[in-house]
Copies of this chain bind each other. A is one copy, B any other.
Amino acid sequence: MPQHRLKLCEEHFLAWVERRVARTIESLEMFAPDDRLLVAVSGGKDSLTLWEILLRLGYRADGLYINLGIGHESYSDVSQARAEAFAAMHPEATLHVVNVAQRYGRSIPDLAHGRGHRVCSRCGMVKRYIMNRSAREGGYAVLATGHNLDDEAAQLLQNNLYWVRGYLQRQAPVLPEAAGGGLARKAKPLCLLYERESAAYALVRGIDYVQQECPYARRATSIFHKHILNDLERRSPGTKLQYYLGFVRARQDGFIVPEELEAGSGVCQRCGQPTTANEICAFCRMLETEGLL
């Protein structure tokens, strides 16, 4: 790991990763030891690694798998099987499963009506809705997601190159509960872990994860920005970490002017979830338009 000037054997690598995540959680004040956590699980390496580490660190962490109905009995169902297999080996934890088509009447691809560019935006909105609602209704203190350093740095670069101020203000390793409790506290405990480190951890621990990418994940821009950051990292190991951590600190110190979160100034008349300006939230508006409500 040239970024840390460190070479470790398998045993010490696993201990190192776990301690690193533990310290990230503490130093960024993500959550307390007895908080009940809901981990958003996709079946991929990052989210299963996160769940594994949280359980090993002694946290009470349940999982949430959202079946998006992508790939007709391949991608989404295979992913669900991996998440369930993982859960079966951890009897101390519960896996909640929400099947979008079964619960709301239509899969993500069907909600996008074959318009490819619409899949990712609808998918993001639906997932955010279900994740938040599941966390709130399940009484969880925190929603934890498996975003790693490469994800966060690429997202930051995207927001930073175009100085998208709102996104720069809201991109944080931990977001407090908001909207009078309507929006769950959110945390990204792997945000200081390189993608390679997360993948190596899953490999060494023998975690059986989905290797397949989402077939819609042609999100070329974020992949392109990951390549750019990899070029910078190769030339100067540690760049990604310094870039992201420097941002987090600048944000904390008020070097980037913070702004009150707007979200949740209202409550949806249909579902009771927080909504920004409208009487009906974006999710319910979609269901209405689609004739599903």
**Interfacial residues, chain A to chain B (CB-CB below 8 A):** 160-163, 165, 224, 228, 231-232, 235, 239, 242-243, 246-247, 249-250, 254-257
Contact = CB atoms under 8 A, between A and B. Distances in A.
Contacts of A255: 163, 165, 256-257
27 contacts: A160-B160, A161-B232, A161-B242, A161-B243, A161-B246, A162-B242, A162-B243, A162-B246, A163-B242, A163-B243, A163-B246, A163-B247, A163-B249, A163-B250, A163-B255, A165-B250, A224-B235, A228-B228, A228-B231, A228-B232, A231-B231, A254-B257, A255-B256, A255-B257, A256-B256, A256-B257, A257-B257
A235 B220 CA distance: 10
Nearest to A259: B255
Given A161-B246, A163-B247, 10 more contacts: A160-B160, A163-B242, A163-B246, A163-B250, A165-B250, A228-B231, A231-B231, A254-B257, A256-B256, A257-B257
The secondary structure that dominates the A interface is: helix
A228 B235 CA distance: 12
A239 B243 CA distance: 19
A271 to B, nearest CB: 35
A202 B95 CA distance: 66
